Amino acid sequence: MKSIKVFICDDHQLIIDGIKSILKNNENISVIGDALNGLEALEKINKNRPDVVLIDVDMPIMNGYETTLELRKHYSDIKVIILTMFNDKSLINKMIGAGASGYILKNKGEKEILEAIYKVHGGETYFSTELFFTISKNSPEEAIKNTNAHPITLLTKREINILSMIAQGLSNNEIGKKIFISKRTVDTHRYNIMKKLNILNIAGLIKYAIKNGLI
C-alpha cells in the first residue's frame, strides 16, 4: 500500500506534536509537513502536496474555513479533515459546505484519527459519531425549508435507504454487501440520488441526509 501523505495545520504546536506521535509508527501514513496557520500551510502545500490535510478551524492569519476553500479551489484532489474542539451545528455545516470530507473532535484518540484518514483518503467521508446528533437538530422551519428545496419524495425507498447508509460512512462496497446488491448497482443508485437532489458531492449528500433525519 502506498503511504498516505498527511499534512497537519494547527496553531498549537502541542497538538501538531501529539498527532505526529500518533501517526509516526503507522507504516501506511507519513506526515510530510505542518503549519501553524492556513497561509503557512498553503505555501508549504504548494511545494509538497499531501493526500490528506488535518486542519484546525480557529487559527490566526488564515483560519480553517478560508484555508479549506483555497485547498478545494486549487487542489481538488486533496482531502480535508477538520480537527477541532467545536461541536457546533452551524460551524459543522459551514465546513461541510466549504468542502471538508471529515470532521472530528480533538478529544478523540488514535483509532478515530486513523479511521478518519483512511476513509477520507479512500474517497469516503468521516464524522465523529456525536456530531450526527448535533447537526440533525433542526427547527421545524429549517426542516420545511430543506424538504421544499430538495423533496425527499423524489427518492425511492431503496434510494433513501442507500442515502442513509452513505451518510453513516459506509462505502459502496459495504452498502452492497449489506443489502445484497453489487457495488456497481450502488454506484448507479448514488449517481441517481445526486442527480435527483442536484447535489454534487458526498459531503452534500451527508448534509442533506442529516437535515432530513435519515440518520
Residue 143 banded pLDDT, cuts 50, 70, 90 = very low
Q: Print the domain residue range for 155.
A: 140-211
The stretch 155-176 carries a mean pLDDT of 87
Query: Does residue 131 sit in the same domain as residue 29?
Result: yes
**Residue-level pLDDT at 92:** 76
Last residue of a domain, one of 108, 135, 162: 135
- Is residue 74 located within the same domain as residue 103? yes
Q: Residue 55 forms beta bridges with which residues?
A: 9, 82
- Kind and range of the H or E run holding 21: helix 13-23
Q: For 72-83, what is each residue's pLDDT tens digit?
A: 889 988 999 998
Q: Average pLDDT for residues 108-131, to the nearest whole number?
A: 81
100 shares its domain with 57: yes
At which of 135, 155, 184 does a domain end? Answer: 135
The yes-or-no verdict on residue 8 having pLDDT over 90 is: yes
Band of residue 129 on the pLDDT scale cut at 50, 70, 90: low
Give the per-residue pLDDT at 133: 55
DSSP-assigned letter for residue 155: S
Instruction: Tell whether 22 and 118 lie within a shared domain.
Output: yes
Cα 170 vs. chain centroid, distance in angstroms? 13
**Are 14 and 97 in a shared domain?**
yes
Q: Strand 4-9 relative to strand 102-105: parallel, antiparallel, unpaired?
A: unpaired
Q: Is the pLDDT of residue 147 over 70?
A: no
Mean pLDDT throughout 83-97?
77
- DSSP secondary structure string for all residues of 28-95: TEEEEEEESSHHHHHHHHHHS--SEEEE-SS-SSS-HHHHHHHHHHH-TTSEEEEEES---HHHHHHH
Average pLDDT over residues 48-64: 92
